[in-house]
Amino acid sequence: MNRMNSVKRIKILALFVALLTAATFSSHAQARFATVDMKKVFDSYYKTKQAEGQIKERAAESDKVYKGMVDDYKTLNEDYKKLIDASNDQALSSEEREKRKKSAENKLIEIQTTEKSVKQYEQQARTTIGEMEKRMREKIVNEIRDVVNARAKSGGFALVFDLAAQTVYQTPVILYTNGENDLTDSIVKEMNATAPADALTTSNAGPESKEKLKTGGK
């Protein structure tokens, strides 16, 4: 716990130093600053919607396979119960009951193997989807940052602040801005300039972005 608090204090101190440095630049060098709502740009970018659609399809396919495996598992359990009941049925000969008992033991082994496979598949599917989301997020954030960096250089901005950034306490980093030099809408327009004709329609939009965008794209 103490270590976590120390990390938080270090992050807050680093943020304070960054803002203090920005203020120093402003007062001495009259540096120009701009702002961008990275979350809005991320959510509005057509490639984000396309990627989310692909992830949703992959998740649906994995879910279908998983449900099929679960159904097979349930069927095995039902068969096992029938074999157990038959092995205790006094109406059957002892030889037949022993045969059913042996079949039940084999069925139990099959159940245990299937249960292990189901758990492994679920874990692997979750890991695969998570890795897809991570690669998608990093790729898109890097594309956005390239555009922001180019716009900052061409506009003569010394710093560009992310309006969506939050502190470790989940409070906004930027508490106030007069809206001057906000590049959000123009960045969104530029990012979507090459979008296919139907890429931004509601029907093609993927599920709403979750907490996919971390401050600074990390």
Same domain, 125 and 185: yes
60-116 pLDDT tens trace: 999 999 999 999 999 999 999 999 998 888 888 889 989 999 999 999 999 999 999
Give the dihedral sign, CA 212/48/60/62. negative
User: Is residue 67 domain-shared with residue 22, that is, in the same domain?
Assistant: no
pTM of full prediction above 0.85: no
Residues 76 and 133 in one domain: yes
Q: For the residues 135-141, what does the mean pLDDT come to?
A: 96
Same domain, 211 and 185: yes
* Residues 210, 146 share a domain: yes
Q: Answer yes or no: do 156 and 58 share one domain.
A: yes
Q: Percent of the chain beyond pLDDT 70?
A: 78
168 plus 135 within the same structural domain: yes
Q: How many domains does the chain have?
A: 2
Q: Tell me how far CA of residue 94 lies from CA of 85, 90, 99, 102, in angstroms.
A: 14, 8, 9, 12
Q: Is residue 158 domain-shared with residue 207, that is, in the same domain?
A: yes
Q: Name the 3-class secondary structure at 129.
A: helix
Copy the structure tokens of residue 72.
Answer: 């097979």
CA 141 to chain centre: 13
* 104/8 same-domain check: no
- For residues 17 and 53, state if they share a domain: no
* Tens-place pLDDT, residues 197-218: 877 664 444 444 444 444 344 4
Task: Tell me the residue range of the domain where 62 lies.
Answer: 31-217
User: pLDDT tens, 85-96?
Assistant: 988 888 888 899
Residue pair 170/178 in contact by the 8 Å Cβ criterion: no
pLDDT of residue 197: 81
Could you tell me if residue 30 is left (phi over 0), alpha (psi between -120 and 50 degrees) or otherwise beta? left
Residue 14 sits in the same domain as residue 118:
no
How far apart CA 132 and CA 212 sit, in angstroms, is 12
Does residue 16 surpass a pLDDT of 60? no
